[in-house]
């Protein structure tokens, strides 16, 4: 029999690429993203993976790409953006951009794939953020979008658990990614990778939820970096 199928968005780099690697031994992988060259390179390193190239902000393209999937065991939402500013300096475009990618795109792709997920008694994993649990000043648009993503996952779980779906939110602390480098630069700080989680550590938490025994449902996982020594 074919191995179960997982779709990982944001798979061209960072946490998404690490999640794809963590699931590659047990799943066939669809590598979601816009950077076809990066996805092709990652697919060449994994035993059974192929690019799933689509811009999640393009509703028509997403609908076309999702239409070819009739059974899906795992959907991991790892794509995201982080536009930071205090409320005084947060434009309407900043609020819209964070919500469009971090909430609306997540909700729409899930909606389109629900029949395929239900057919497999599947699992939806939303990579959230510590900012989806508590906020700090200067992070308004991003934090609000992550609270929205948290609410979406909670609603989806309440509605779809009776249909056999599992829904997990993963809340990583600061992780060593290109996005984190941009955030630290915006904050005016000095970047030190050793202070942050490795993407592979977050991916391990995702794999733990996905590979949990059928009687277990890991609903919320918080992952924090240990103090730097």
Whole-angstrom Cα distance, residue 16 to residue 122? 19
30-46 core/surface letters (b: 16 or more CB in 10 A; e: else): bbbbeeeebbeebbeeb
Q: Which residue has the tokens 């733990």?
A: 208
Among this protein's residues, is 191 annotated catalytic? Answer: no
Indicate which residue of 142, 171, 191, 196 is catalytic: 142
Among candidate residues 7, 48, 56, the one with its CA nearest the CA of residue 31: 7
Would you state the structure tokens that stand for residue 85, as one six-digit string? 């500013």
Query: In this structure, what are the phi and psi dihedrals at residue 189, rounded to the nearest 5 degrees?
Result: -95, 175
Whole-angstrom Cα distance, residue 86 to residue 186? 12
Maximum Cα–Cα distance across the chain: 56
Active-site residue set: 142
């Amino acid at each position: 029999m074919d191995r179960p199928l997982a779709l990982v968005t944001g798979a061209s780099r960072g946490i998404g690429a690490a999640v794809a690697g963590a699931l590659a031994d047990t799943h066939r992988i669809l590598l979601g993203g816009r950077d076809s060259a990066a996805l092709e390179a990652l697919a060449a390193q994994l035993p059974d993976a192929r690019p799933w190239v689509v811009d999640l902000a393009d509703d028509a393209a997403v609908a076309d790409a999702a239409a070819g999937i009739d059974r899906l065991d795992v959907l991991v939402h790892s794509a995201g953006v982080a536009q930071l500013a205090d409320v005084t300096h947060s434009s309407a475009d900043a609020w819209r951009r964070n919500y469009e990618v971090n909430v609306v795109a997540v909700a729409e792709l899930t909606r389109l794939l629900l029949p395929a997920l239900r057919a497999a008694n599947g699992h939806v994993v939303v990579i959230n953020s510590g900012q989806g649990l508590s906020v700090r000043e200067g992070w308004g648009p991003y934090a609000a979008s992550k609270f929205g993503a948290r609410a979406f996952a909670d609603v989806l779980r309440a509605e779809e658990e009776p249909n056999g779906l599992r829904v997990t939110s993963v809340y990583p602390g600061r992780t060593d990614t290109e996005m984190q480098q941009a955030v630290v630069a915006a904050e005016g700080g000095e970047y030190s990778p050793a202070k942050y989680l490795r993407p592979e550590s977050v991916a391990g938490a995702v794999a733990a939820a996905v590979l949990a025994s059928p009687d277990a449902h890991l609903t919320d996982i918080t992952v924090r970096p240990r103090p730097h020594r």
